[in-house]
Amino acid sequence: MTQLPGVGDKLPAATLAAPDGSPLDLAQFAGRKLVLFFYPKDDTPGCTTENIDFSALTGDFAKAGTALLGISKDPPARHVKFAAKHSLTAPLASDPENGGLSDALGIWREKQNYGRTYMGMVRSTYLIGVDGRIARVWSPVKVKGHAAEVLEAAKAL
């Protein structure tokens, strides 16, 4: 098994899908701090709370020179509805393909719930430094207070 990227490693190159369906290449964030927060599914209670919390701090992240990007496997059209329904300001992207970024990071994996086994996203956050290296990882994430904790880490980076 190959070693998964961790703190100090370069973030794997990846192209995601923006809510309008256009390609979103992570290389466009080169030279900036970046927070990637991965969540399981749009419009579920924990994911909605997490997105609202990050959206509430979008301006503070910008002041800290840090871009935000929320990522799930949901299709772009679902992201559009989710963002509109909850007035989200943190940008969203889709990582729909097998072998995508969440696979490369090892956070798309087998999960179990009520005796059912399925593939799912492990709620995780990555703070990327201006050098493109992973500076900090939170996985799995507890939603309460998480966005504020990530903001403090971004400010300190």
DSSP H stretches of helix in the chain: 45-56, 58-63, 76-86, 101-104, 146-156
The number of angstroms, rounded, from the C-alpha of 64 to the middle of its chain's C-alpha atoms is 18
Average pLDDT over residues 125-139: 97
Place of tokens 């989710």: 82
pLDDT of residue 78: 96
Query: For the CA atoms of 127, 119, 99, 67, what is the dihedral angle to 10 degrees?
Result: -20
Q: Are 102 and 125 in contact, with CB atoms under 8 Å apart?
A: no
Looking at the predicted structure, is the pLDDT value of residue 103 above 90? yes
| C-alpha–C-alpha distance, residues 126 and 137, integer Å | 5
pLDDT of residue 4: 81
Catalytic residues, by residue number, are 47
Looking at the predicted structure, is the pLDDT value of residue 2 above 90? no
Average pLDDT over residues 52-76: 97
What are the extents of the domains in the chain?
A: 15-156
pLDDT of residue 91: 96
DSSP for residue 20:
T
Looking at the predicted structure, is the pLDDT value of residue 25 above 90? yes
pLDDT of residue 98: 83
Looking at the predicted structure, is the pLDDT value of residue 62 above 80? yes
pLDDT of residue 88: 97
Architecture of domain 15-156: 3-Layer(aba) Sandwich (3.40)
pLDDT of residue 5: 87
Predicted TM-score of the model (pTM): 0.94
| C-alpha–C-alpha distance, residues 48 and 53, integer Å | 9
| C-alpha–C-alpha distance, residues 125 and 34, integer Å | 10
At 73-83, the pLDDT tens digits run: 999 999 999 99
| SS3 assignment, position 134 | strand
Of all helices (H) and strands (E), which one includes residue 24?
strand 23-25
